[in-house]
Amino acid sequence: MDRITLDQGVEIGKEVVIEGPPLEALLFQGGHVGSIVTVTDSLGKDYRGRVLSLSGERGSMLIFEAFRSPTESSMQIILLQALPEKERMEWIIQKVTELGATIVIPFKSARSISLEERDAKQKKSHRWQEIALKAVRQSRRAKVPQVGAYRSFEEALELCTGEGLKILLWEKEGESLKKILRDYLPKKMFVMVGPEGGFTQGEVSIAKERGFIPIKLGQRILRTETAAVTLVGIIQYELGDLG
């Protein structure tokens, strides 16, 4: 239900009927009469449409604009983010959604705050998926990224299976990100960003055993939210759909 994919071709200025899975996806994205959403037709082309009606198991939409190129990047980016304090996680989810991230996984590292501590001060974790939904509408994306459940460092690593380049941002030492991207030319990436205090040596060792390559972003030390957004932006520029 993360993408409104029609089983028909569409034309600008024509009305289309929406039912079944496309209707479920529309409702999942918060669609209502008058709302404007991005839809994908049976040929894989993206359009903008305005919802005209919603009644029971049926809806209709007026298609009024076509995108010249896909709204979704061919690069899959799975961001594993150590939970930061205050509203930084919400900001990260919003910005990496705008940049085209596929999945966001919050986790607890040795030096990060726990979800219990964060929610005791400011309970907003229940809104993470909603924040992604709003960022999708703002950025006119077709697909809603999944915001995964909060988990431990080890549990986050266990999700990183199958094909894909795995990188971990480590301020102490690491490979050049530019060189890594150009050497591997991946289509899928697992990107792990630590807390303000950085990863411990033990965490880096465990991640390396799981296939992660430590990388650095120059000599400056970035805040965790800056690092996450910068990494996703660079990856999309080098191998995705920015630029």
Domains, in order of start, for the chain:
15-66 (2.40.240.20), 76-239 (3.40.1280.10)
Per-residue DSSP letter, 145 = P
Token pair, residue 20, equals 């079944």
Return the bridge partners of 50, or none: 36, 62
Q: Report pLDDT for 21.
A: 94
DSSP state string for 62-120: EEEEE-SS-SS-SSEEEEEEEPPSTTHHHHHHHHHHHHT-SEEEEEE-TTSPPHHHHHH
Q: Are 21 and 9 in contact (CB under 8 A)?
A: no
CA distances from 174 to 99, 119, 128, 177, 178 (A): 24, 33, 31, 9, 12
Chain position carrying tokens 């899959």? 76
Strand boundaries in the chain, DSSP class E: 15-18, 36-40, 46-55, 58-66, 76-82, 103-108, 146-147, 151-152, 165-169, 175-176, 188-193, 213-216
Per-residue pLDDT of the chain (243 residues; tens, 9 = 90+): 689 999 999 999 999 999 999 999 999 999 999 999 999 999 999 999 999 999 889 999 999 999 999 999 999 999 999 999 888 999 999 999 999 999 999 999 999 999 988 888 777 788 999 999 999 999 999 999 999 999 999 999 999 999 999 999 998 888 999 999 999 999 999 999 999 889 999 999 999 999 999 999 888 888 999 999 999 999 999 999 997
Q: Report pLDDT for 1.
A: 61
Burial 100-122 (b: 16+ CB within 10 A, else e): bbbbbbbbbbeebbebeebeeee
Query: What is the spatial distance between Cα 100 and Cα 186, in angstroms, rounded to a whole number?
Result: 16
Query: What is the spatial distance between Cα 67 and Cα 86, in angstroms, rounded to a whole number?
Result: 37
Token pair, residue 194, equals 């630590």
First to last CA, the chain: 29
Chain position carrying tokens 């411990």? 200
Query: What is the spatial distance between Cα 182 and Cα 223, in angstroms, rounded to a whole number?
Result: 25
Q: Report pLDDT for 2.
A: 84
Q: Are 57 and 23 in contact (CB under 8 A)?
A: yes
Return the bridge partners of 65, or none: 48
Q: Report pLDDT for 218.
A: 81
Q: Are 148 and 105 in contact (CB under 8 A)?
A: yes
Return the bridge partners of 17, or none: 60
